[in-house]
Amino acid sequence: MHQLRFRQVHLDFHTSEAIEGIGSEFDKTQWQQALKTGHVDLINCFSKCHHGWSYHATKVGKRHPHLAFDLLTEQISACKEIGVNVQIYISAGVDGVASYEHPEWREVGANGQYTGWAREITTAGFHKMCFNSPYLDYLCEQIREAVAMYPQADGVWLDIIFQYQCCCKWCLAVMDEHALDPTIEADRLKCARIGLDRYYRLSTAACRCLRADMPVFHNSGHVQRGRRDILGYFSHLELESLPTGGWGYDYFPIQAKYCKNLPLDFVGMTGKFHTTWGEFGGYKHPNALRYECAAMLAYGAKCSVGDQLHPRGKMDPSTYELIGAAYAEVEAKEPWCRDVENIADFGLLSAAAVNADEARDVPADTGAARILLEGHLLFDVLDAEMDFSKYKVIILPDEVRIDGPLARKLNAYLAGGGKLFLTGESGLAVDGAGFIFDIGASYHGRSQYLPDYVLPGESFRPTFVNSPMVMYLSSQRIKATTGRSLGAVYDPYFNRSFRHFCSHQHAPARPEPSGFDCGVHNGNVMYLAHPVFKIYRAMGAVAHRQYVVNALRSLLGEPTVATNLPSTARLSMMRQEKHRRDVLHLLYANTISRGGEIEMGAGTFTGKGWLVEVIEELLPLRNINLQVRPGKTVCKVTLEPQGRQIDFKCSNGTTELTIEEFACHQMVVLHYSA
């Protein structure tokens, strides 16, 4: 496995031909001092940017017209002198120079309009190129040239790896060759897949034309869960996740908990920007970056922070002081974050992976992960090829219907003593005819009501609800038979329509139960009739979360870790087997929603403002109790990196301890006797 460094910077340098003096203020000493201030140990530097300009001598592409020397050569030399590794960045999916010289290489949709960011001639933005066109040959020549010029590089970083439903003349030829119909969307998607597969094969070969072990990463902004067929083209993974840039603070943990089970090292990617990529003069608060880097460590990742170099080539001191505040802490924590294995009670079988959904935000997965994170339940995110046997409970969120191979795997898991937690349509046969597993209830199809209401049994109810609570999406109709009912469904008087409606939203619940159950527990299988995870993703009601967490805890039994952390805090547990220790990561930051949509004019990326989640103050938490059942004998507990030993007590396999106070991030290390 290619091992990554912990403290990386992704240095954007997308520079217009309309700007002069490119690199004119580059100074080796100033460059090196910035990297030292930032505690940086790897940086991505540009061979070619989105505008299509190269930043070194080139016979294949075109050097930026206002660059008078080999900037990349000087950057690499300056880095190597101080022990900083360098990955070469090459923009792959967009290229302004190539698109103006060869507009026929651009992607064209079935409607005849260009695809990508800039679809109209008069729109400012980058031009998406087609990987089925000769552009890919041009790109691969650029890659081969760069790796030949810089054999000392520590990797190649290729960006904007997408292929849309293109209907350029080369894609039409591909569709003819493969008997695909360009008037059918499914066939256009197959053609796009052919182009993307061609890209991966040829570009990776170009990166490794001189060194078979050259590290390579292809960035598409999202690691698609379940897409294992392309992993052979990657040396490692990088999880692009700028919380303020549209990803939010809960996206990264979901992806990290999936990637931790893949055979590749991975890095989390955030940015120093207040918003997202390409922002000059934008700075997030240092405490936000401290928290984001701590979260990367807590979920088993290395760290990467995005920056953007000024066209004149001078590093921004404020940026590297900002990065350095976070990376000094990362550097101190590295010994407890190397070679770690995530400890999990639950395996969340990703709906995105099972259903081959490419979306970044799949509500069933997102809602499930948020409930688990907020409930401080230890979990991994899985695809159908991963090992299920190490988990006490496998969760199938909302829309995981069961085909033959998955049924056989899950039945074997159940036979070995595992437990299943099913919700919504999960557990139904692919054709929806009925449940594959014995849930202990009869099935009566999908409810005709939207919404309906539930009153869970007393042990499953939220702490503050004793009346039927609204469920915002339709349920599946079940009646408990051999299983134990978890509570009752109450129907509304009617669905809202022009014929009859009540008040501002939905009709109230009828006073009598419907006769259907909101859930059922049968042996090692528990089922909730509503798509509760999608509901939580959409509405975020605390009552719904408590209902689901109560059900999950009831099925699980004793958890590995129990705590009184607030729902806004985060908890993970990593094992360092060779050091005979477990590391509990406690995280807390109070996020505030700021910003909002207003018209801002054409000078900005979107022309609008947007909602931004901001971290400013890092308030402390006090008197945090932890009960840990690690399955090992604990001989010492320390707080790291402080190196301070704390009191604990052990009884019947449970280690109990209290953290008097922490802010942002605290590692609690449980040391085991030999």
Pick the last residue of a domain from 323, 338, 353. Answer: 338
Q: Are 625 and 564 in contact (CB under 8 A)?
A: yes
Give 332's Cβ-side CA count (13 Å radius). 16
* pLDDT confidence bin for 63, thresholds 50/70/90: very high
Whether residues 547 and 568 fall in one domain: no
What pLDDT is recorded for position 329? 98
Whether residues 240 and 102 fall in one domain: yes
Q: What is the percentage of the chain residues whose pLDDT exceeds 70? A: 99
**Amino acid identity, position 331:** E
255: left (phi over 0), alpha (psi -120 to 50) or beta: alpha
Whether residues 22 and 148 fall in one domain: yes
Residue 146: C-alpha distances to residues 17, 73, 312, 535 (Å) = 21, 11, 22, 49
pLDDT higher at 101 or 122:
101
H helix or E strand, kind and range, residue 381: strand 379-382
**Amino acid identity, position 189:** L
Query: Is 595's pLDDT higher than 70?
Result: yes
Task: Show Cβ contacts of residue 642 under 8 Å, excluding neighbours closer than 6 positions.
Answer: none
Residue 506, in any domain of the structure: no
Whether residues 107 and 246 fall in one domain: yes
For the domain that residue 603 is a member of, what is the CATH number? 2.60.40
Whether residues 365 and 454 fall in one domain: yes
Residue 307: C-alpha distances to residues 14, 279, 491, 670 (Å) = 11, 9, 54, 37
Residue 312, in any domain of the structure: yes
Whether residues 154 and 282 fall in one domain: yes
Q: Are 478 and 444 in contact (CB under 8 A)?
A: yes
What pLDDT is recorded for position 116? 87
> Could you tell me which of 289, 293, 288 has the C-alpha nearest to residue 334?
293
Query: Is 574's pLDDT higher than 70?
Result: yes
The vertex-67 CA angle with 66 and 68, nearest 5°, equals 110
Pick the last residue of a domain from 537, 559, 581. Answer: 559
Tokens describing residue 567 = 């729902």
For the domain that residue 304 is a member of, what is the CATH number? 3.20.20.80
Q: What is the percentage of the chain residues whose pLDDT exceeds 90? A: 94
Query: Is 452's pLDDT higher than 90?
Result: yes
Query: Is 356's pLDDT higher than 70?
Result: yes
Query: What is the per-residue pLDDT across 515-559, written as a single tens digit (0 to 9) for each?
Result: 999 999 999 999 999 999 999 999 999 999 999 999 999 999 999
Domain that holds residue 408: 344-488+519-559
* pLDDT confidence bin for 71, thresholds 50/70/90: very high
Q: DSSP letter at 371?
A: H
Q: Are 359 and 493 in contact (CB under 8 A)?
A: no
Q: What are phi and psi of 526, to 5 degrees?
A: -125, 140
Residue 212, in any domain of the structure: yes
Whether residues 312 and 371 fall in one domain: no
Q: Residue 519 and residue 488: Cα distance in Å, rounded?
A: 8
Hey, CA dihedral for 77, 78, 80, 85, is it positive or negative?
negative
CB atoms within 10 A of CB 69: 15
Pick the last residue of a domain from 309, 338, 367. Answer: 338
Query: Is 652's pLDDT higher than 70?
Result: yes
H helix or E strand, kind and range, residue 650: strand 649-651
What pLDDT is recorded for position 606? 61
In sequence order, what are the beta bridge partners of 655?
Answer: 628, 650
Tokens describing residue 483 = 């299983």
Whether residues 532 and 652 fall in one domain: no
Residue 511, in any domain of the structure: no
Whether residues 386 and 479 fall in one domain: yes
* pLDDT confidence bin for 605, thresholds 50/70/90: low
Q: Residue 458 and residue 547: Cα distance in Å, rounded?
A: 10
* pLDDT confidence bin for 146, thresholds 50/70/90: very high
Query: Is 78's pLDDT higher than 80?
Result: yes
Query: Helix count (H) and strand count (E) of the chain?
Result: 14, 34
* pLDDT confidence bin for 37, thresholds 50/70/90: very high
Query: Is 608's pLDDT higher than 80?
Result: no
Residue found under tokens 């070194």: 56
Q: Are 178 and 191 in contact (CB under 8 A)?
A: yes
Residue 176, in any domain of the structure: yes
CB atoms within 10 A of CB 325: 17
For the domain that residue 466 is a member of, what is the CATH number? 3.40.50.880
Query: Is 168's pLDDT higher than 70?
Result: yes
Residue by residue, what is the 3-state secondary structure of 231-286? HHHCCCEEEECCHHHCCCCCHHHHHHHHHCCCCCCEEEEEECCCCCCCCCCCCCCH
Whether residues 196 and 163 fall in one domain: yes
Q: Are 210 and 242 in contact (CB under 8 A)?
A: no
Whether residues 241 and 290 fall in one domain: yes
- Determine the average pLDDT of the residues in 219-231: 95
Whether residues 153 and 75 fall in one domain: yes
- Determine the average pLDDT of the residues in 577-605: 86
Query: What is the per-residue pLDDT across 310-340, written as a single tens digit (0 to 9) for each?
Result: 999 999 999 999 999 999 999 999 999 999 9
Residue 191, in any domain of the structure: yes
Q: What is the DSSP string of 158-182?
A: EE--------SHHHHHHHHHTT--T
Query: Is 601's pLDDT higher than 80?
Result: no
Q: What are phi and psi of 260, to 5 degrees?
A: -65, -20
Q: DSSP letter at 496?
A: -
Residue 278, in any domain of the structure: yes
Q: Residue 449 and residue 479: Cα distance in Å, rounded?
A: 16
What pLDDT is recorded for position 127? 96
What pLDDT is recorded for position 607? 66
Number of structural domains found in the chain? 3
* pLDDT confidence bin for 604, thresholds 50/70/90: low
Query: Is 118's pLDDT higher than 90?
Result: no
Query: Is 602's pLDDT higher than 80?
Result: no
Residue 502, in any domain of the structure: no
3-state secondary structure of 112: coil
Q: Residue 60 and residue 47: Cα distance in Å, rounded?
A: 12
Query: What is the per-residue pLDDT across 486-512, written as a single tens digit (0 to 9) for each?
Result: 999 999 999 999 999 999 999 999 999
